[in-house]
């Protein structure tokens, strides 16, 4: 029939259009206008007391096309309780607030699975950054490194485990931000990750974040030994952005030469890594116009240029959407920040048990997974919130339904929701300062058995560029 033929043609056209849209939206590592922005350490919160600018849930930063890559920072201790690693995502998810899987130091961050999947569905890749500035990231040898790669694969990538911190979300690769602890084993670690991902149903990426002095003190050897997809060079030392016009300091040319003549993967992309605000690092910050100009000029000279990396999402958003300004400089476009329209909360009658759950308090700080009762319903916080009424337009609470239990606690704020127990805004955090020094590898690795419980409230550590 004519109608059937026309309908079939129309349907085919729609499917072809949808396929093209999906293909366009997918992450393309070969491009030279990508933007990678670290997430997880609430860097803004370490230097600002206004909680409105603190790190939001991951999905909040995926509402437009600005950012292409989110390395989640950090897996900061390789071998902690039970021989498994430890991660800490500041005010988003930590062992102190969300609790841990029994016998481990791995926090229960499964609520982030939906955020990760939502960002991936929009063509962004989400990777796991290992290291930071703790010194708790090292291997005794290649055998240990290979075994650890299998652990990471099972906990965060394409494997399986009963203690996966992000639930059934499958991350898109790993990032090495190694700032201490030694240099042994990393080539074996990357090699094993590559072996495990070989033949997988999707692409897994391996990136690194070396300091700009070439070669990097900790990553130099591994960068020459195994294939990387991209390197996010931290330009905040003497060779940093502030010295762009000094031919004896600015050294992107050295990294371009490495990419083309030394790197195992001759298609590796080199990013300019920059602080996203003056408070994101001790030095190296330049305004968006200057960084945009530097990026464009560098791209015109060096074919290995892949884009810009920023530290971090909270700082970029707190600095007038610094990320949008840089993306526009890279693309020559006019990206408009997306404003999310909140959806009404859905209600499941009779599904919530409010026994022992405190009533919602406008002055309390809640993070993802905290619960409160309000207007006869049980509510679960999706992410960090304070003063946002459950069921209100902010859409930060999930309605778990009408309370089945009449034993509702009084308005006392639960310990897990008090400001004193929210990580990342501690005295140590506020005092954390990035320095310009480039430390030499230590002769003997530091104690690597430290757990979050041993650290106590010290959930944010200083770094040469990145902060944990």
pLDDT at 393 over 70: no
Query: Which one of the listed residues 150, 179, 195, 297 is annotated catalytic?
Result: 179
3-state DSSP of 237-260: CCCCHHHCCCCCCCCHHHHHHHHH
Selection from 16-25, 278-287, 352-361 with the highest mean pLDDT: 278-287
Higher pLDDT, 460 or 400: 400
Residue 271 forms part of a structural domain = yes
Residue 319 forms part of a structural domain = yes
The whole-number pLDDT of residue 355 equals 67
Q: How confident is the model at residue 237 (pLDDT cuts 50, 70, 90)?
A: confident
The whole-number pLDDT of residue 349 equals 40
The whole-number pLDDT of residue 112 equals 98
Q: How confident is the model at residue 390 (pLDDT cuts 50, 70, 90)?
A: confident
The whole-number pLDDT of residue 182 equals 87
pLDDT at 344 over 80: no
The whole-number pLDDT of residue 61 equals 98
- Write the pLDDT tens digit of every residue in 397-417: 888 887 764 333 333 333 333
Residue 228 forms part of a structural domain = yes
248: tokens are: 């004896």
Structural domain tally of the chain? 1
What pTM was estimated for this model as a whole? 0.73
Residue 61 forms part of a structural domain = yes
Mean pLDDT of all residues in the chain?
Answer: 81
Mean pLDDT of 144-172: 98
Residue 95 forms part of a structural domain = yes
Question: What is the C-alpha separation between 439 and 464, in angstroms, rounded?
Answer: 9
Q: How confident is the model at residue 361 (pLDDT cuts 50, 70, 90)?
A: confident
pLDDT at 446 over 70: no
Q: How confident is the model at residue 140 (pLDDT cuts 50, 70, 90)?
A: very high
Q: How far apart are the first and last CA of the chain?
A: 65
Tell me which residue of 236, 52, 230, 221 sits closest to 125, measured CA to CA. Answer: 230
Mean pLDDT of 114-138: 92
pLDDT at 71 over 70: yes
Phi, psi of 127 (to 5 degrees): -115, 170
Residue 166 forms part of a structural domain = yes
CA-to-CA dists, residue 267 to 177, 218, 235, angstroms: 21, 22, 21
CB atoms within 10 A of CB 17: 10
Mean pLDDT of 251-264: 98
The whole-number pLDDT of residue 135 equals 60
Higher pLDDT, 343 or 371: 371
Question: What is the C-alpha separation between 439 and 317, in angstroms, rounded?
Answer: 30
The CATH code of the domain that includes 258 is 3.20.20.80
The whole-number pLDDT of residue 454 equals 32
Phi, psi of 186 (to 5 degrees): -70, -35
Mean pLDDT of 337-352: 43
Interacting residues of 305 by C-beta distance below 8 A, sequence separation 6+? 32, 252, 256, 269, 270, 271, 272, 295, 298, 299
Residue 110 forms part of a structural domain = yes
Residue 447 forms part of a structural domain = no
3-state DSSP of the chain: CHHHHHHHHHHHHHHHHHHHHHHHHCCCCCCCCEEEECECCCHHHHHCCCHHHCCCCHHHHHCCCCCCEEEEEEEEECCCHHHCCEECECCCECHHHHCECCCCCCECCHHHHHHHHHHHHCCCEEEEEEEECCCCCCCCCHHHHHHHHHHHHHHHCCCCCCCCCCCCCCCCEEEEEECCCCCCCHHHHHHHHHHHHCCCCCCCEEEECCECCCCCCCCHHHHHHCCCCEEEEECCCCCCHHHCCCCCCCCHHHHHHHHHHHCCCCCCEEEEEEECCCCCCCCCCCCHHHHHHHHHHHHHHCCCEEEEEEECHHHHHHCCCHHHHHHHHHHCCCCCCCCCCCCCCCCCCCCECCECCCECCCCCCECCCCEEEECCEEEEECCCECCCCCCCCCCCEEEEEEECCCCECCCCCCHHHCHHHCCCCCHHHHHCCCCCCCCCCCCCCCCCCCCHHHHCCCCCCCCCCCCC
pLDDT at 142 over 80: yes
Mean pLDDT of 242-246: 96
Q: How confident is the model at residue 453 (pLDDT cuts 50, 70, 90)?
A: very low
Higher pLDDT, 338 or 120: 120
Mean pLDDT of 129-151: 92
Selection from 344-353, 359-368, 408-417 with the highest mean pLDDT: 359-368
Block residue for tokens 């056209």: 13
Q: Which domain does 47 fall in, by range?
A: 28-331
Tell me which residue of 193, 200, 197 sits closest to 151, measured CA to CA. Answer: 193
Q: How confident is the model at residue 229 (pLDDT cuts 50, 70, 90)?
A: very high
- Write the pLDDT tens digit of every residue in 83-109: 999 999 999 999 999 999 999 999 999
Burial annotation 369-398 (CB, 10 A radius, 16+ → b, else e): bbbbbbeebbbbbbbbbbebebbeeeebbb
Mean pLDDT of 259-286: 96
Residue 297 annotated in active site = no
């Amino acid at each position: 029939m004519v109608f059937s033929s026309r309908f079939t043609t129309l349907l085919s056209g729609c499917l072809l259009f949808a396929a093209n849209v999906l293909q366009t939206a997918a992450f393309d590592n070969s491009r030279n206008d990508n933007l990678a922005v670290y997430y997880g350490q609430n860097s803004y919160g370490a230097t600002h007391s206004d909680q409105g600018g603190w790190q939001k849930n991951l999905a909040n930063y995926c509402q437009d096309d600005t950012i292409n890559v989110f390395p989640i920072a950090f897996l900061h201790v390789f071998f902690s309780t039970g021989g498994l690693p430890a991660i800490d995502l500041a005010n988003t998810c930590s062992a102190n607030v969300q609790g841990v899987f029994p016998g481990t130091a791995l926090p229960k961050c499964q609520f982030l699975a939906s955020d990760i999947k939502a960002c991936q569905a929009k063509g962004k890749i989400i990777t796991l950054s290992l290291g930071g500035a703790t010194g708790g990231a090292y291997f005794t040898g290649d055998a240990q490194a290979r075994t650890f790669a299998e652990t990471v694969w099972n906990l965060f990538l394409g494997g399986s485990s009963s203690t996966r911190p992000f639930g059934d979300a499958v991350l898109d690769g790993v990032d090495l931000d190694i700032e201490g602890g030694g240099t042994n084993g990393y080539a074996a670690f990357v090699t094993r990750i590559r072996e495990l991902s070989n033949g997988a149903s999707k692409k897994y990426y391996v990136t690194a974040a070396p300091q700009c002095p070439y070669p990097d003190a900790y990553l130099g050897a591994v960068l020459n030994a195994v294939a990387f997809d991209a390197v996010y060079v931290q330009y905040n030392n003497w060779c940093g952005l502030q010295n762009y016009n000094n031919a004896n300091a600015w050294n992107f040319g050295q990294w371009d030469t490495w990419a083309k003549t030394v790197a195992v993967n001759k298609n590796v992309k080199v990013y300019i890594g920059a602080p996203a605000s003056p408070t994101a690092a001790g030095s190296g910050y330049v305004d968006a116009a200057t960084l945009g100009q530097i990026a464009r000029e560098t791209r015109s000279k060096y074919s290995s240029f892949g884009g810009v990396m920023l530290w971090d999402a909270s700082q970029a958003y707190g600095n007038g959407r610094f990320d949008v300004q840089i993306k526009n400089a890279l693309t020559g476009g006019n990206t408009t920040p997306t404003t999310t329209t909140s959806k009404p909360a859905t209600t499941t009658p009779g599904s919530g048990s409010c026994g022992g759950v405190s009533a919602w308090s406008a002055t309390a700080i809640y993070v993802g997974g905290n619960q409160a009762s309000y207007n006869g319903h049980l509510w679960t916080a999706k992410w960090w919130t304070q003063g946002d009424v459950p069921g209100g337009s902010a859409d930060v609470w999930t309605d778990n339904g009408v309370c089945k239990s009449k034993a509702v606690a009084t308005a006392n704020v639960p310990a897990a929701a008090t400001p004193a127990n929210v990580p990342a805004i501690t005295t140590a955090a506020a005092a954390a300062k990035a320095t310009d020094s480039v430390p030499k590898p230590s002769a003997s690795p530091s104690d690597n058995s430290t757990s979050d419980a041993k650290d106590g409230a010290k959930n944010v550590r200083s770094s040469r560029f990145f902060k944990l």
